[in-house]
A and B are shown apart, each in its own frame.
Chain A
């Protein structure tokens, strides 16, 4: 349920980005790595509640998930890890041990506003 804190931070960051008091936010785009631990439905539920009576009331929240990469330490083969499923410890090509990188991003990419 850390999504509550994240939803509040998304809203605060989006409201800070508004050019003036009259603008209203219609869409917010958030980029989250698959290892950032953000669950989309849960985030949206909190977000919709928190947006009430703000310039973002009714705005839609777009969550763009960013994959992590599995890199084989033996042969260097790279595969994307999109979360879910079982993390493949072994390289599908040579059986070497994989190393997991990236997937930790969590940032507000953009807001769409109307005056």
Chain B
């Protein structure tokens, strides 16, 4: 006997993500899911953005890593509340992990919560966390073809950061090719060029978050 089910496979995660969304909204938090490959500069970018958020807002970070608390230690060192999730091998964060991490973090708004997802461009794509915005970080040394190789993650981004632009003179990276590749999969998301080393573009990225927040929380 055949039974037609037609049910999303990740519906349990999707439902928890919806509950997280309600919780974030009630706490007046704008939640940014930061996704990138390892070494693209997720932690550095989050730290730069934290500096650019006006002091009247609360700030917090959930750090996802397979192992270690290296990134969380960097955030804690600048006095921002942070919770570390170690997935022990799993390649993505899911909505249930975020729910538990929120119990630890005890963050209330109005404010900003950054979730640093596990470094890769494939697995985090399927797992909604209840975030307000998806930020995908690419970096110059990775090459300009990443949106073609990993279209799904760039397609779902609300905002795309191109990091390490201070290295453009040294590396064969064609900005135009990168933009064209992004636009093939995502017509809407702003592409913001940033250098976490020099600080260039960080204010533009922070401004986008503040504007987006006013519209959503």
Q: Are B151 and A100 in contact (CB under 8 A)?
A: yes
Which residues on the A side are within 8 Å of B198 (C-beta)?
none
Structural contact, A112 and B10, CB atoms closer than 8 A: no
* Closest Cβ neighbor of A107 among chain B residues: B8
Question: How far, in whole Å, are A107 and B126 apart by their CA atoms in the complex?
Answer: 12
CA separation between A115 and B152, bound complex, in Å? Answer: 40
Q: Find out whether the CB atom of A112 lies under 8 angstroms from the CB atom of B7.
A: no
In the assembly, what is the distance between CA of A104 and CA of B128, in Å? Answer: 13
The answer to whether A1 has its CB under 8 Å from any CB of chain B is yes
A78-113 near B? 1/0 per residue, CB < 8 Å: 000000001101000000011110011011111111
Q: Is the CB of A13 within 8 A of B9?
A: yes
A110 near B3: Cβ-Cβ < 8 Å: yes
Digitize B142-174: 1 where CB-to-A-CB distance is under 8 Å, 0 elsewhere.
Answer: 000000100110010000000000000000000
- The distance in angstroms between the C-alpha atoms of A111 and B1, with both chains bound, is 8
* Chain A residues positioned under 8 Å from B181 (CB to CB): 89
Q: Once the chains bind, are A6 and B9 in contact (CB under 8 Å)?
A: yes
On whether the beta carbons of B91 and A2 are closer than 8 Å, the reply is: yes
B3 contacts across to A, CB distance below 8 A: 17, 19, 110-113
Among B112-155, those with CB < 8 Å from A are 122-123, 125-127, 148, 151-152, 155
Q: A4-B90, A5-B127 are in contact. List 12 more A-B contacts (CB 8 A).
A: A5-B90, A6-B126, A17-B5, A35-B125, A36-B125, A86-B148, A99-B185, A103-B152, A104-B152, A107-B7, A109-B6, A115-B1
- Please report B residues at the A interface, Cβ cutoff 8 Å: 1-13, 89-92, 94, 122-123, 125-127, 148, 151-152, 155, 180-181, 183-185, 187
CB<8 Å pairs between A and B, sample of 18: A1-B123, A2-B91, A6-B126, A10-B9, A13-B7, A13-B11, A35-B155, A37-B122, A89-B181, A89-B184, A99-B185, A100-B185, A108-B5, A108-B9, A111-B5, A112-B3, A113-B2, A115-B1
